[in-house]
Amino acid sequence: MSSYELIHPKTHLRVLSRYEIQQLRDVSSQEHDLVRRCCYAVLNAGSQSDSYIDMEAAYQPFDIHFEQEDRGLVLRLVNPPPSAFVDNDIIRGVREQLFSVLRDVLYAQDSIIKPQRFDLNDSDGITNAIFHLLRNADVLCADRLPNLVVCWGGHSIPRNEYKYCKEVGYHLGLRGLDIGTGCGPGAMKGPMKGATIGHAKQHNRDGRYIGITEPGIIATEAPNPIVNELVILPDIEKRLEAFVRMAHGIVIFPGGPGTAEELLYLLGILTHPKNITLPFPVIITGPEESGDYLRAIDRFIGTTLGAPAQARYQLIINDAQAVAQAMKTGIHSVQLWRQQQKDAYFFNWSLHIPAEFQHPFDPTHKAMSALNLSFDAPGHQLAADLRRAFSGIVAGNVKAAGIQRVQEHGPYQLQGDPKIMEEMNALLAHMVASGRMKMTGEYTPCYEITTADDAVQNDR
């Protein structure tokens, strides 16, 4: 026997015309499976599972329908998870995130992306579309000085790393800095949780905990319950650009292939000749126990992208206070620079992002094997293809389409320069050994690595 709940909006999509509601209903019928996955992930906030298959099986009875009343939109939730309710009332934060899903996956797509208001084959068009999506989500605050620290890191991390992330967040919060993350568990939750205490001690009631995600990720990684502003971008590339356009500095904690993807994306942009003089504080950090792993990441960057890329970040191990102090100083430099350049505080228009970092990458087996992981490529192009390689591994680990492709066609095949592939293989092996690929259960690699020499030998 099924049960249902009727949910009215309190913030997002509260005032809509009958025409707009009908548009939402029409779009929702086309995108129903995507909306359903995203909505039950939000309703399941705080979940410690990153398995799409497990989540789908657990919530197979769940469904969502759109109904219209004269006062606006109503959601009918069929068999919603009980954890989203307290004494039969939906938790306020869950309600807001639920309508954030509809706002970003349905309304913004229908009003911004699908009408082709922007040329998504053009670099400026992509950036303008991202700006409008963020503005529609009301996360661009023109009346705030630079203070947003984006924190990247793994969703599957040990307890000591989580405690360290929380400590860093605490020291950032004491200094009045807000937090943005990918909105999931682990290193995405820890800094937000720490910052809530730092903000509370400073009687800061306006702390922002911004979660930026995309449909393929949120469907398997439920938002953590601290997020008070949720934004869902259409794909991973637009999500990454939203991060770097909004951020005034970035802290990177230990993580898996997703964190490596983010780091490579960032360094590929910051080492571009047009961005050389642009101040952008980046800190890689973790507890003492993670020191060897962080140094392995630093070594991988040095081997593949060289000293110029290493010069764009600081490596600080086991000193949360030093991280916060360095970030505060770096953000002050950002503020002065933007004042001089008359650039906006809330959106970094001056940052040049090459087209190869903007266009969506579909990690098919053919596309993965065709990546040019070679020193013959220019530095930023190598960074772009390395980023795509790790993006494909993320897809094979946690995204429905990637998991299905690997099940049907076997592991992704990655090949390239022997030195690059040796370092990449060592880094991935470190991630597997330290449990950074999967939160629960035994991990089966979704990739196989060979060198270009091996590929030539196999063709003979």
* Rg from Cα positions in the chain: 22
Tell me which residue of 164, 334, 331 sits closest to 252, measured CA to CA.
164
Residue 203 has pLDDT above 70, yes or no: yes
Q: What is the pLDDT of residue 73?
A: 80
Same domain (yes/no): 294, 406: no
Band the pLDDT of 33: cuts 50, 70, 90: confident
Strand partners, 73: 68
In a domain, 135, yes or no: no
Same domain (yes/no): 9, 77: yes
- Of 305, 337, 353, the residue that ends a domain is 353
- Of 353, 388, 406, the residue that ends a domain is 353
Helix (H) or strand (E) holding 7: strand 4-7
Residue for token pair 């019928």: 29
In a domain, 258, yes or no: yes
CA 366 to chain centre: 25
Band the pLDDT of 342: cuts 50, 70, 90: very high
Asked whether 223 and 45 are in contact (CB, 8 A), the reply is yes
Q: Which residues contact 204 (CB under 8 A, 6 or more apart)?
A: 173, 176
CA distance 279 to 302: 21
Q: What is the pLDDT of residue 391?
A: 94
In a domain, 339, yes or no: yes
Same domain (yes/no): 11, 33: yes
Domain that holds residue 164: 142-353
388-423 b/e (C-beta count within 10 Å ≥ 16 → b):
bbbbbbbbbbbbbebbebbeeeebbbbbbbeebbeb
CA distance 402 to 392: 8
CA distance 179 to 256: 20
In a domain, 123, yes or no: no
CATH code, domain with 103 = 3.30.1850.10
In a domain, 125, yes or no: no
Strand partners, 152: 252
Strand partners, 230: 211
Same domain (yes/no): 336, 387: no
Number of other residues whose CB lies within 10 A of the CB of residue 165: 31
Q: What is the pLDDT of residue 45?
A: 72
- The β-bridge relationship of strands 85-86 and 282-286 is unpaired
- Mean pLDDT is lowest, of 7-21, 190-204, 386-400, 425-439, for 7-21
CA distance 361 to 364: 9
Residues 88-135: tens digit of each pLDDT: 888 988 888 888 888 888 777 777 767 777 888 899 999 999 999 999
Q: What is the pLDDT of residue 10?
A: 75
CA distance 210 to 194: 14
Same domain (yes/no): 304, 160: yes
pTM as predicted: 0.89
In a domain, 57, yes or no: yes
Strand partners, 317: 286
Band the pLDDT of 180: cuts 50, 70, 90: very high
Same domain (yes/no): 203, 309: yes
Band the pLDDT of 439: cuts 50, 70, 90: low
In a domain, 128, yes or no: no
CA distance 44 to 55: 9
Residue 44 has pLDDT above 90, yes or no: no
- Of 353, 375, 392, the residue that ends a domain is 353
Number of domains the chain is built from: 3
Residues 359-404: tens digit of each pLDDT: 999 999 999 999 999 998 888 889 999 999 999 999 998 888 899 9
Same domain (yes/no): 429, 316: no
Same domain (yes/no): 374, 294: no
Residues 67-90: tens digit of each pLDDT: 877 667 888 888 888 888 999 888
Same domain (yes/no): 396, 344: no
Asked whether 13 and 103 are in contact (CB, 8 A), the reply is yes
Tokens of 257: 């292939």
Same domain (yes/no): 298, 409: no
CA distance 432 to 420: 18
Residues 279-328: tens digit of each pLDDT: 999 999 999 999 999 999 999 999 999 999 999 999 999 999 999 999 99
Same domain (yes/no): 282, 336: yes
CA distance 238 to 458: 38
Q: What is the mean pLDDT of the chain?
A: 88
Q: What is the total residue count of the chain?
A: 460
In 3-state terms, what secondary structure has residue 64? Answer: strand
In a domain, 108, yes or no: yes
Same domain (yes/no): 293, 275: yes
- Mean pLDDT is lowest, of 86-100, 250-264, 318-332, 428-442, for 428-442
Q: What is the pLDDT of residue 1?
A: 40
CATH code, domain with 225 = 3.40.50.450
